[in-house]
Amino acid sequence: MTGKVYLVGAGPGDAKLITVKGLECIRKSDVLVYDRLASPRLLKCMKPGGEKIYVGKLPDRHTMKQEEINQLLVDLALQGKTVVRLKGGDPTIFGRVGEEAELLRKNGIYYEIVPGITSAISVPAYAGIPVTHRDHASSLSIITGHESPDKLDHSIHWDKVTNATGTLVFLMGVAKIGYISAQLIKHGRPPETPVALVRWGTRADQETLTGTLADIEAKVKAADFQPPAVIVVGDVVLQREQLKWVEAMPLFGKRIVVTRARSQASELVDIIEELGGEPYEFPVIETIMPEGAEKKAKIAAALGALESYDWVFFTSANGVEFFWRHLAELGADVRGLHRAKIAAVGPGTAAALAQRGVIAEELPAKFQAEGLIETFGPRLLPGQNVLLPRGDLARDWLPDKLRELGLQVTDVDTYETVVTGEDDDELLKLLEEGRVHAVTFTSSSTVRNFMHILKRMGLEDPLPLLANVKIACIGPLTEQTALEAGLTPGLLSEEATINSLVQELCRWNAETQLQKSLN
C-alpha cells in the first residue's frame, strides 16, 4: 500500500510556533525529512522508532539537490510509509513545495500541504518590528534575496518592487545586502530608509542589526553578520526601539540543555521558555520499576509492614511517585502509615506528597539527607522503625546515620535509574558550533550519564566542547560530581530546587547582558 506525504511548515525556529496540525503530522510520521532551519526539539516529537533523514548541508557533503529530495519523498511513500517533509517557515514561500508536490502527484502519491508561520512575518515580530503599521506601512512584499545578482535582476523587477509596498522583506539575502541596497536606492528608495537584519529569529541565537540603505552593508561586514537572516526595509523598522520585547526577557539569548528524565523535565523546560530562553531537552536518565523476583519480594515485604513504621523518609519526588506505584500494584492501603511521621527532603518532594493528600513534617533547612538528620535528630529515638523508599543510586549516608543513632532501618530500592538509550546528533552539532550556552544538572546521575552518553556518541573527550558552556548544578553533591567528572561548575543554586536553579540562570544572564552592553 502506498504511503502519504505531509509537506509541513515548521515555523521560524521556535518549536512552539509550529501549527497544531503540523505537530500532529510529526507525531504520526514514520519518516521525518528535515533541513537546517527545523527546530531540533520538533524531531523529538516523533513516535518511538521513527526514522529521521537530514537533507541539509553537512561538513562532508553539499546540500542534497532538490531533485534528490523530491525523489526521496516518492521512494519513501512507495514503501508504504507516512512521511513528513519538514521545512523552515512556510513551505509555500520559497520552500519549493510546488516541485515536491508535482512529483508526488505524478507518481500517484497522496499528499497534504500544511502551512507554517513564515519567517517573513514572525522573525521581525520577535525583533519588535511589525511588518505593517497604520502610520508607516499598509502593504508588504516578500522577496527572495538568495540568488546571484544577475538572477535577482532577472526575477525581480526592481523598478516596480522598490516602491510597490511600504515594507519590503527579503529572505536569504545577507550575502547580497550591498547589491540589494544599491538597487533599492537606484530605483527610488531614499538612502536613509531604515533597514534591519534579524539573524536566527525566534531562536536563542537571535541577533538584530539595524542601519539604513546607505550604511547597512558596511555594518554587516563590520559585525561579520552571517546568515540565516531576514532583511526588513521600511519605516516599520523604527518601531523596534519601542516594541522590542524578546531581549527584555530574563533568559533571552540562552540555549539551555535540560538533562532531567523526560517525565520530570517539563517543569524546568516550561520555566526556561516562559523566561525567554530556549530549552533543549536531552534526558540522560530514566527511572524504571525494579525487575526481578528478589527485588520485588523485598519491596512487597517492606510495604506489607506499613503499620510498623514510626518514620518514612522520602528523599525525592521520584521516591514518592514510585512508592505510590508499588502501593497500587500490591493493593496496599496508604492508611497503614497512620502512626508514622512522614518527612520530605525538600519542597519538591513535599509537593509530590501533597498531591497525594499527605502533608509532610516541617522541611529541613538543607534540602539533602544531612538536613533531615539536623531537623529531626532530637525526635529520632533508638528502637524506632524507619522506612526509606529510595532509588538504587541513593547514598548510604542516611541509612548508616540512622542505624548509628539506634533506629531500625528498612532501606528499599523502589525505583532504578538507568542511562537513556538515545543519542542526539543535533546536540553534538550545537556543541561543536558553540551554540549551547548552559547545561543543567539536577542530580549526580545526570552528570555521570551526560558524560557517558557524549562518549558513547563518539566524543573521546567531551571536556573541550564543554569548556565555554556554563555548568549549572542544583546542589553541592551534584556540583561535587561535576568536578570529579572534570567539569567546571559555574552556577550553584542556593537551594536544591528548580526555582532556585532558574534564579541562578537569570542572574548569570543579567550579568552576561550587562557585560555585553559595556563592551
H or E element in which residue 115 lies: none
Query: Going by DSSP bridges, is the β-strand pair 229-233/167-171 parallel, antiparallel, or unpaired?
Result: antiparallel
**3-class DSSP state of 140:** strand
d(CA 278, CA 249): 12
In one-letter notation, the amino acid at residue 368 is Q
Q: How would you label 11-42 residue by residue, b for 16+ Cβ within 10 Å and e otherwise?
A: bbbbbebbbeebbebbeebbbbbbbebbbbbb
Phi, psi of 311 (to 5 degrees): -140, 145
d(CA 393, CA 373): 20
| Cβ-proximal residues to 255 (8 Å cutoff; 6+ apart), any chain | 203, 204, 205, 277, 278, 280, 430, 435, 436, 437, 438
* Concatenated DSSP letters of 174-236: GGGHHHHHHHHHHTT--TT-EEEEEETTTSTT-EEEEEETTTHHHHHHHHT--SSEEEEESGG
pLDDT in tens, 268-313: 999 999 999 999 999 998 889 999 899 999 999 999 999 999 999 9
ω before 191 within 30° of 0 (cis)?
no
pLDDT in tens, the chain (519 residues): 789 999 999 999 999 999 999 999 999 999 999 987 778 889 889 998 899 998 876 544 556 788 999 999 999 999 999 999 999 999 999 888 999 999 999 999 999 999 999 999 999 999 999 999 988 889 999 998 866 666 666 678 899 999 989 999 999 889 999 999 999 999 999 999 999 999 999 999 999 999 999 999 999 999 999 998 999 999 999 999 999 999 999 999 999 999 988 777 788 999 999 999 999 999 998 889 999 899 999 999 999 999 999 999 999 889 999 999 999 999 999 999 999 999 998 888 999 999 999 999 988 877 778 888 999 989 999 999 999 999 988 889 999 999 999 999 999 999 998 888 778 888 998 999 999 999 999 999 999 999 999 999 999 999 999 999 999 999 898 999 999 999 999 999 988 889 999 999 999 999 988 887 776
Residues 430/438, Cβ–Cβ less than 8 Å: no
Residues 232/198, Cβ–Cβ less than 8 Å: yes
Listed residue (319, 314, 280, 254) closest to 450, CA to CA = 280
d(CA 301, CA 127): 61
Residues 83/4, Cβ–Cβ less than 8 Å: yes
Angle, CA 383 vertex, CA 381 and CA 384 arms, to 5°: 65
pLDDT in tens, 119-143: 999 999 999 999 999 888 899 999 9
Instruction: State pTM to two decimals.
Output: 0.84
Q: Find residue 339's DSSP bridge partners.
A: none
Residues 124/130, Cβ–Cβ less than 8 Å: yes
d(CA 12, CA 123): 7
pLDDT at position 59 is: 46
Listed residue (257, 271, 465, 518) closest to 510, CA to CA = 518
Give the residue numbers marked as catalytic. 35, 57, 172
Instruction: Kindly state the cell numbers that stand for 124.
Output: 521581525
238 DSSP assignment: G
Dihedral over Cα of 274, 277, 278, 283: its sign:
negative
* Mean pLDDT, the chain, integer: 91
342 DSSP assignment: E
